[in-house]
Structure 1
Amino acid sequence: MKSQTFVMKTVKNVGVLACIALMSACNSSNEPEVLTPSVNFTEVKGSGDISSQLASFRTLLGSQLNTTPGQTGGRREINWDAVPDNQTNTNTFPGDFFNSTDPAAAAGRKRGAIFTTHGSGLRISDKNFSDLVSGYDDQFNAFSPARTFAAVGSNKMDVTFKVPGTDKNAFVKGFGVVLSDVDKANSTTLEYFEGDKSLGKLSAPTRKDDQGFSFLGAVFPDSKITKVTITAGSAAISKKYNGSSESDLVIMDDFLYSEPIEE
């Protein structure tokens, strides 16, 4: 059995914490959150074989996987593998690719997620970014082969939400990410926002095996998540990366989130 960590936590109010060990490998001393939310939330996180964590998180988001606009419940997922070749291995992947408002666009382009970064761009890779960061062929892996995702020129990016297929602002109740090669505790975080208010910042667990996968997600049942800021590692994916042992490079694969609902 692969080494793994599986922790689910539910906070009902400030100062009340229940940690539920869902597998014998549960480790409640996993890396600490950077800023524990002070509102109701449920966190799912783990590393190694993350299939059980993903199943639990999907249940929290909604068992129905939505593939067309016009939904009011369920969840959305992005695994990048539908991105065409001409928008792969470049730094010009459009941040609104998965929320086309063109009526003629395929339904798969209408998933209600918008990506932005202060870096030099966004990149989909079918090489696990080995063409940008030499020597990482055996560090980065695709969870759902073969494409992975990262901001370039910055280790930070934002995800905001629209009603799928429209330009109407939306919110979600939960959001999570599959990560590859988290080596250092607290280097990789998700910070959830309702408008300008931070709902809290959570830290991804470090890798536990040769595959190198981690998962971090949270559901805020009583809040409206309008933005998630992802800090992926401690340094940017870039050709300028010099291999410093002080840095932790991290890329992303599957995104999972509840159906975006109009604000």
Structure 2
Amino acid sequence: MRSFRTLRRTGLAFAALAAAASVTAVSFGTPASAAPRYEFTKVSGAAADAAGLQATVDNYRALLGEPNNGSNPPAAAGRREINWDGTPDAQSDPNLLPPDFFNTTVPRGAEFATKKGNKFLVSADNDNPTKTKPLFGNVNPQYDDIFATFSPQRLFTPLKTPEMTVKFFVPGTKDRATVKGFGAVFVDVDRKNSSKIELFDRHGKKLYSAYVPKAPVKNKGLSFLGIKTNADVYEVRLTVGTDPLNKNNKDGRWKDIVAMDDFLYAEPQKLH
């Protein structure tokens, strides 16, 4: 399910246009300025499978720009992506992922944090040496029935809490950085207000917030939300469903259990 919607805001004036994948452009200006101070373009969509979501993710890739810098040295432009799939078995379920793995071991310029222990889990693949079930089936047998991947075969989640923070660094260093955009694939979003992305500046001021769209199917649906901006984003806070993944939390009724797949973000630039 894809929809196109354009929204522009200058002062109190609004204009909207709706059609079928969601691309929303928002401009925040001041009365004395001819040009907006901050601009935000939101790309979002949801689908029953990876093929249905591909165009939405590719639209966001195009906004962030080329090239995909992978684990290469710091660059002046382009983007970074984390799809979890190359994570070694030693850092995947049943083992924890170090919060700084994708900055120190694999230099993508992103480190993760939570307020409950900084514990993160990448799901097992189907040929892991410990025979751990993929799709977090090792955490709860139900999860194998509700989760799917956008890029096979691994998913990602914080533990003990559904909320986490992404902090940015010049890739491979401890120099803090900012980015001009961030997006992620969410898995099995059943409620329209259960998952969201929030962008913050270096002073802790919220720059932008948006909810992840609900999937069009009950199980194994995929959703994407990405924001591109001219603001300097210091941290991204993610709310991933209503409750954390664990052996007691089952999806359904008042609980929306959600995992994540690919992260995409603009090339981190050193904080000045």
TM-score normalized by structure 1? 0.85
Letter of the 1:181 partner, please give it.
D
Structure 2 equivalent of residue 40 of structure 1: 39
**Partner of residue 33, structure 1:** none
The alpha-carbon deviation at position 134 of structure 1 amounts to: 2.4
Instruction: Work out which of the residue numbers 66, 73, 91 in structure 2 matches 1:69.
Output: 73
Please tell me whether residue 110 in structure 1 is matched to residue 107 in structure 2.
yes
Q: Which has the higher contact order (CA 8 A, sep 6+)?
A: 1
Larger Rg: 2
Q: Are residues 152 and 56 of structure 1, via their aligned partners in 2, closer, same or farther at CA, if it must alter by over 3 Å?
A: same
Matched, 1:133 2:133: no
- SS of equivalent residue, structure 2 residue 145: coil
Q: 1:92 aligns with which of 96, 110, 115?
A: 96
Give the Cα–Cα distance (whole angstroms) in 2 for the partners of residues 243 and 70 of structure 1: 40
Shift of 1:16: 4.6
Alignment match, 2:243: 235
Verify the 8 A CA contact 2:96 2:122 in the aligned structure 1: no
1:41, distance to aligned residue in structure 2 (A): 0.5
The 8 Å contact of residues 163 and 261 in structure 1, kept in 2 or not, is answered as: yes
Aligned sequence identity (%): 36
- Answering whether residue 153 of structure 2 is matched by residue 146 of structure 1, we say yes
C-alpha separation in 1, matches of 2:190 and 2:252: 13
Residue 81 in structure 1 maps to residue 85 in structure 2: yes
* Structure 1 equivalent of residue 130 of structure 2: none
SS in 2 for 1:252: strand
Preserved CA contact (<8 Å) 1:12 1:40: no
- More displaced stretch, 193-202 vs 86-95: 86-95
Question: In structure 2, what residue type is equivalent to 1:7?
Answer: F
Structure 1: which amino acid aligns with 2:61? R
CA contact (8 A) 1:237 1:249 kept: yes
Aligned Cα RMSD in Å? 2.2
Give runs of aligned pairs for residues 168-247 of structure 1, distance below 5 A.
Answer: 168-195=175-202, 196-209=204-217, 211-221=220-230, 223-242=231-250, 245-247=253-255
Q: Specify every segment of 5 or more residues in structure 2 that has no aligned partner in the other structure, as ranges.
A: 29-37, 125-133
| In 2: Cα distance, 1:6 partner to 1:158 partner | 28
1:167 matches 2:162: no
Q: TM-score, normalised by structure 2?
A: 0.83
For the 8 Å contact 1:79–1:254, the answer to whether it is kept is yes
Q: What amino acid maps onto 1:95 in structure 2?
A: P
Matched-pair contact (CA < 8 Å) for 2:150–2:222: yes
Q: 1:26 to 1:133 in 2, by over 3 A?
A: same
The 1:158/1:8 distance shift into structure 2, 3 A limit, reads farther
Instruction: Show the counterpart of 1:56.
Output: 59
Structure 1: runs of 5+ lacking an equivalent: 31-35
Separation in 1, partners of 2:209, 2:228: 13
- Contact 2:162 2:244 (C-alpha < 8 Å) held by counterparts: yes
Distance in 2 (alpha carbons) for counterparts of 1:257 and 1:246: 32
Distance of 1:25 and 1:137 partners within structure 2: 31
Tell me which amino acid in the other structure corresponds to 2:94. Answer: T
CA contact (8 A) 1:11 1:41 kept: no
Kept in 2, the 8 Å contact 1:140–1:180? The answer is: yes
Please, which of 250, 255, 261 is the counterpart of residue 253 of structure 1? 261
Inter-partner Cα distance in structure 2 for 1:8 and 1:160: 30
- Residues 1:58 and 1:12: Cα distance change in structure 2 (over 3 Å): farther
